[in-house]
Structure 1
Amino acid sequence: MRLIRRFLLWPLLTVLTATLIVACTGGGSSAAIRVGSKDFTEQFIIGEMYALVLEKAGLTVERKLNLGGTPVAQAGLVNNEIDLYPEYTGTGLLTVLKLPANSDQEKVFEDVAKGYKEQFNLVWLDPAPMNNTQALAMTEAKATELNIRNISDMAAQASSLVMVGPPEFQEREDGLPGIQQAYGNFQLREYKAIDPGLRYKALVDGEADVAVAFGTDGEISAFNLVLLEDDRNLFPPYQVAPVVRQEALDANPAIAEALNALAPLLTDETMQQLNYQVSGEQKEPADVAREFLTQQGLL
């Protein structure tokens, strides 16, 4: 009889143990938060910052950085392969939601937050002040010499100016064709299409007068470049913010508090400097992120 009871008890104990393990490891809030990023310097830095502040808040984090471009990262959220990643409001507006361009920061954020929630059940947390929008840059010396401070000034002198930038800028709706349409159908002396990584060297070396830029590029502060004012408000804002799966937020409310505390610190000047530490000084993005957060008292 004892032998029979022993054989009956072992399967029961096994089932109870397995149930206890599942309860302890599979219950929502104890699961790792999967933090993704796209495949360029700024995303590596910000993605690592997100991971570090979440870990500081006591959450377990799995890093899935360097996923690829916007379609890959967005699909990762929708398909429950990641829980959050840094996205730009302008990208959400134009690339994901396919909505018309708009230069009003608050309206763009309102539209993307509403559209993502309705279409994908995804939540935009607080946006940072930084604006990684498309821009045109000149050296301080050249801008002063020609008295150019905004894109209208540049358009008035375009026939004598050489612009350098990536090949696709000549074709994109929000690239050169869009600027020409908004600023008077001007014609440049020349557009030099080169690898994006060589734009600033060409500008500083005097091979071009104007370079296609993005608002938080590290070289802007490193080389003391002038960003021309978009005085006709052509370019939409590209503020960065965490986009998070609603289910992940429900299971881990601390995500919002931790990431919203970081957002106000990410200004244009800060991101220019942090980006250049990686692109110009060849530091590791994770080291740059950790050092910055430590300096700010978040770690």
Structure 2
Amino acid sequence: MALESAGYQVERVPNIAGSIIHSSIVNNDIDMYPEYTGTGLLAVLKMDLMTDPDEVYTTVKEEYKKQFNISWLDYSKANDGAGLVIRTEVSQKLGIKTITDLQKHAGEIRFASQGEVDQRADGIPALEKVYGKLNWKSSKVYDNSLKYEVLRNNEADVAPAYTTEGQLVNKDEFTLLEDDKQVCPPYNLAPVIRDNVLSTDPGIAEVINKVSSVLDTDTVTALNAKVDVDKEEYEDVAKEFYDSIK
């Protein structure tokens, strides 16, 4: 919408799976899409985990240009990283605000796993390497789509979460724990664009960077809530937000 407002002709290419989105831009099927810095680092470049947002961004920016002739535009403050969510009632009762607090009380906590997070390099193994063993009171595997219902129904106390999930606006019910030792890699949102497109018209970067500059984690979480919690259409939510910032 920002590009169209600036006079550019935009062709939207919908429904490209995340597993092939990178190959789509490399193969010139698309020119630009929004990517996460952590995904670029770990899933595309297969590099070692880093936790400093600026270092991750600089690394992916340099490697994408070198390997793929693709540029990263400015990254936003919005971070959709991995985290842990706890029922607010339990957080208040046991004084759990950080993952350090959680590790100390793990024996009193029922963990709602999604299975994969127990093995992933940036999941529970990474947390336990830094925070210590998480010896849960119990651990059961649930479908990811059910985790907030499971927490709300008092069937579990803690679950893995992404840090911009819409349900996190309900702070009376759910509390996102602070990763106080900065274990989880940053997943900052930033557009990637083919170099040949950007070199043809560098003005594209200025238009898109203005949008990225106003996106932070709280803003994206609130927008996600309108779609996932309030069941509004994402096109309407996007337009309303864009109209508010242009």
Structure 1-normalised TM-score?
Answer: 0.79
CA–CA distance in structure 2, aligned partners of residues 174 and 62 of structure 1: 35
Counterpart residue type for residue 246 of structure 1: D
The aligned residue for residue 215 of structure 1 is: 163
Q: Which runs of 5+ in 2 are unaligned?
A: none
Counterpart residue type for residue 109 of structure 1: Y
Q: How big is the shift at 1:62? A: 0.7
Quick check: 1:125–1:242 contact (8 Å CA) kept in 2?
yes
Quick check: 1:57–1:254 contact (8 Å CA) kept in 2?
no
Counterpart residue type for residue 150 of structure 1: T
Hey, which of these two has a bigger chunk of helix by percent? Answer: 1
Provide Cα deviations, 1:124-149, integer angstroms capped at 9, x if missing partner: 00101111110011132211110111
Corresponding position: 1:63 with 2:12: yes
CA–CA distance in structure 2, aligned partners of residues 254 and 72 of structure 1: 28
Aligned pairs for 1:185-224 within 5 A: 185-224=133-172
Q: How big is the shift at 1:223? A: 4.4
Aligned pairs for 1:4-19 within 5 A: none
Match of 1:95 among 2, 19, 43: 43
The aligned residue for residue 32 of structure 2 is: 84
The aligned residue for residue 116 of structure 2 is: 168
Aligned pairs for 1:187-266 within 5 A: 187-224=135-172, 225-266=174-215
Quick check: 2:223–2:237 contact (8 Å CA) kept in 1?
yes
The aligned residue for residue 154 of structure 1 is: 102
Q: CA RMSD in A?
A: 1.2
Counterpart residue type for residue 266 of structure 1: L
Match of 1:142 among 84, 87, 90: 90
SS at match of 1:277: helix
CA–CA distance in structure 1, aligned partners of residues 171 and 154 of structure 2: 13
CA–CA distance in structure 2, aligned partners of residues 277 and 192 of structure 1: 29
**Percent identical:** 38
CA–CA distance in structure 1, aligned partners of residues 113 and 2 of structure 2: 36
Equivalent pairs counted in the alignment come to: 245
Q: How big is the shift at 1:257? A: 0.9
The aligned residue for residue 242 of structure 2 is: 293
Counterpart residue type for residue 139 of structure 2: Y
Corresponding position: 1:267 with 2:216: yes
Structure 2-normalised TM-score?
Answer: 0.96
The aligned residue for residue 113 of structure 1 is: 61
Counterpart residue type for residue 231 of structure 1: D
Distance 1:264 1:165, change over 3 A: farther
Higher relative contact order (CA 8 A, sep 6+): 2
Q: How big is the shift at 1:63? A: 0.6
CA–CA distance in structure 1, aligned partners of residues 41 and 29 of structure 2: 22
Quick check: 1:163–1:188 contact (8 Å CA) kept in 2?
yes
SS at match of 1:119: helix
CA–CA distance in structure 1, aligned partners of residues 30 and 138 of structure 2: 44
